[in-house]
A = this chain, B = another copy of it.
Amino acid sequence: MADNWILMVTARTPTNIAVIKYWGKRDEKLILPVNDSISVTLDPEHLCTTTTVAVSPSFDKDRIWLNGEEISLSSGRFQSCLREIRARAGDVEDETKGIKVSRKDWEQLHVHIASYNNFPTAAGLASSAAGLACLVYSLAKLMNVNEDNSRLSGIARQGSGSACRSLYGGFVKWIMGKDEDGGDSIAVQIADEKHWDELVIIIAVVSSRQKETSSTSGMRDTVETSLLLQHRAKEVVPKRIIKMEEAIKNRDFESFAHLTCADSNQFHAVCLDTHPPIFYMNDTSHRIISIVEKWNRSKGTPQVNF
């Protein structure tokens, strides 16, 4: 077989917005969270990552480009995803091109990855969730991995926690799990994208600059220094998860809106209760929230939530 063949797969994955927030890991390496979380996956026509993965015997190392710029693949998170997908690779045959890759060949072959976000990166819009989910999904297709989305979500989780939730459309729960190896920390779909299609999500970009504190280091600081986080994770979130699942199943917007706002506020609260404090809202965010609150109050029932 010649050395100049190339196989490519392109996939597109939407971002997701948590309505019960993930903030805080109990295991940094495996990316295991301190609580369950629930999100809504956006329409892939809107905010999404598009990733093309290619394999060729002529590639001498794994490489990745983000938004046209090459970045390092050396982080443990990328490496975990590559390792886990390679370990599950299957035989691939492209008869028209005369290409045949057997399961064991994947350990020797290198991939090139090109990923584009059609929205601001690292600005609070879950770019890493969409990005890592898309990476895992496209690599799994390329390498003919025979696993369901739930298993793939466990791999994407090791790339970026909330990425596990982007492998499903609709309403998705990331179950924190109990196992030490993270085997049960996976995403499941609560309801699909057709279940509640009157629900409209508006993304208001109040700043397209990169966040001053990355989610990874921010969460670590919160886990280490906040005296409120454990109370939130153990006492508050479990009850909210049950109520939120009910609200979604019943398309109960009043309850959905109330829980979403309360949990967004509490997420920002534990960020503030961190040393040094983390500010993910600015004066514009505050104004938007105040307007939402006044609107809802004037109408008596929630019209919109944040």
| Cα separation A227 to B228 with both chains bound (whole Å) | 10
For residue A198, CB closer than 8 A to chain B, the reply is no
For A63, list chain B residues within 8 Å (CB). none
Chain B residues whose C-beta falls within 8 Å of the C-beta of A205 in the assembled complex: none
Interface string of A246-288 (1 = CB under 8 A from B): 0000000000001001100110111011111101011100100
Task: Say if the beta carbon of A289 comes within 8 Å of chain B.
Answer: yes
A272 near B275 with CB under 8 A, answer no
Please give the number of chain A residues whose Cβ is less than 8 angstroms from any Cβ of chain B in the complex: 31
The segment from A96-104, A163-171, A175-183, A231-239 found at the interface with B is A231-239
Most buried by B among A236, A258, A262, A269: A269
Shortest C-beta distance, A268 to chain B (Å), equals 5
Smallest Cβ-Cβ distance to A266: which chain B residue = B273
Residue of B235, B258, B273 touching A269 (CB-CB under 8 A)? B273
A245 within 8 A of B: no
Q: How far is the CA of A261 from the CA of B64 in the complex (A)?
A: 41
With most chain B CB atoms within 10 A of its CB, the pick from A227, A282, A290 is A227
A212 at the interface (CB under 8 A from B): yes
**A231 / chain B contacts, CB cutoff of 8 Å:** 228, 231, 235
Give 25 pairs: A residue, B residue, CB < 8 Å, sorted on A: A212-B290, A225-B262, A227-B235, A227-B236, A227-B266, A228-B228, A228-B232, A228-B236, A228-B269, A265-B272, A265-B274, A265-B277, A266-B272, A266-B273, A268-B272, A269-B270, A269-B272, A272-B272, A276-B289, A276-B293, A276-B297, A277-B293, A279-B286, A279-B290, A283-B283
Beyond A227-B266, A258-B275, A269-B270, 14 extra complex contacts between A and B, CB < 8 Å = A227-B235, A227-B236, A227-B262, A228-B231, A228-B232, A231-B231, A231-B235, A265-B273, A265-B275, A266-B273, A269-B272, A272-B272, A276-B297, A282-B286
User: Nearest 3 A-B pairs (CB), nearest first?
Assistant: A269-B273, A269-B269, A276-B293
Interface of A is mostly: helix
Question: Given the known A-B contacts A212-B290, A231-B228, are A262 and B236 also in contact in the complex, defined by CB atoms under 8 Å?
Answer: no
- Interface residues of A, Cβ cutoff 8 Å to B: 212, 225, 227-228, 231-232, 235-236, 258, 261-262, 265-266, 268-270, 272-277, 279, 281-283, 286, 289-290, 293, 297
Neighbouring B residues of A281 by C-beta, 8 Å = 279
Q: Which residues of B contact A272 (CB under 8 A)?
A: 265-266, 268-269, 272
Q: Which residue of B lies closest to A228 (CB)?
A: B228
Other-chain contact of A277, B227, B270, B277, B289 (Cβ < 8 Å):
B289
